[in-house]
Amino acid sequence: MYPIVSIVGKSESGKTTLLGWLIGELKCRGYRIGVVKHEPYGFELDQPGKDSWRLTQAGGDIIALSSPQQLAFIKRVEEDTPLEELSCLFGDDIDLILAEGFRGSDTPKIEVHRKGLGELLCPGEELFAVVSDELLNVAVPQYSPDNISELADVIEQKFLASPQVEHLILRINGIPTRLNPFVKKFISHTLLGMVSVLDDVPEIKTLQILLRKS
């Protein structure tokens, strides 16, 4: 499964600007990038009066919009969807997910900082880099907003140049369940071993199983 990197920071710190620069830099290097942006105050995708809006208002729980150029889903949810669960929506067509926000997730993080914004939001162990216009007293590498290529080098070396780690999410009643490393390994190896002995099974890149009680 592909790696996930979250870009975090306070309001007006420049998170979206950095995200755009990194997308462009990594795309130029030949990588396929998925992007997730957290909007804690909501957003408007299906505009009032449009067909998708009418279908949503009619009570559709999941609306799919398809055209020759784009595909989108609108799904009703009761609370924020965890970043790890959102990553399952991307399929196998990307090498890396860059997320803006989601500071409460367990994913590796880059924090964007600007003068006058006070202390860092996420000085914990997930933080592996800081982009700042001033020198900070932190134990992780710091990068200038004007030198994004060096930060892209680090992302490439740390997350894209090494074999991708096995990734497993177990959802019970739609809710992701935390699994310790032993259980993850046990479930993964058991399922892969069972499926691999079936006839005419291609190389397994992802495996999805849905069990619904009647």
Digit-coded pLDDT (tens) for 153-193: 989 988 887 555 556 777 787 676 777 778 888 888 898 88
- The pLDDT value recorded for residue 177 is 76
* Parts of the chain with a pLDDT under 70: 1, 39-61, 63-67, 74, 88, 91-92, 162-167, 174, 176
Measured torsion, CA atoms of residues 191, 193, 199, 203, in degrees rounded to the nearest 10: 90
- The pLDDT value recorded for residue 40 is 59
Contact 61, 76 (CB under 8 A): yes
- Name the 3-class secondary structure at 42: coil
Measure the CA–CA gap between 18 and 35, rounded to whole angstroms: 13
- The pLDDT value recorded for residue 66 is 62
- The pLDDT value recorded for residue 43 is 53
- The pLDDT value recorded for residue 173 is 76
Instruction: Name 5's bridge partners.
Output: 98
- The pLDDT value recorded for residue 39 is 67
Measure the CA–CA gap between 4 and 79, rounded to whole angstroms: 21
HSE at residue 181, side-chain half, CA atoms within 13 A, is 1
The CB density around residue 74, as the number of other CB atoms within 10 Å, is: 16
Measure the CA–CA gap between 159 and 170, rounded to whole angstroms: 23
- The pLDDT value recorded for residue 206 is 75
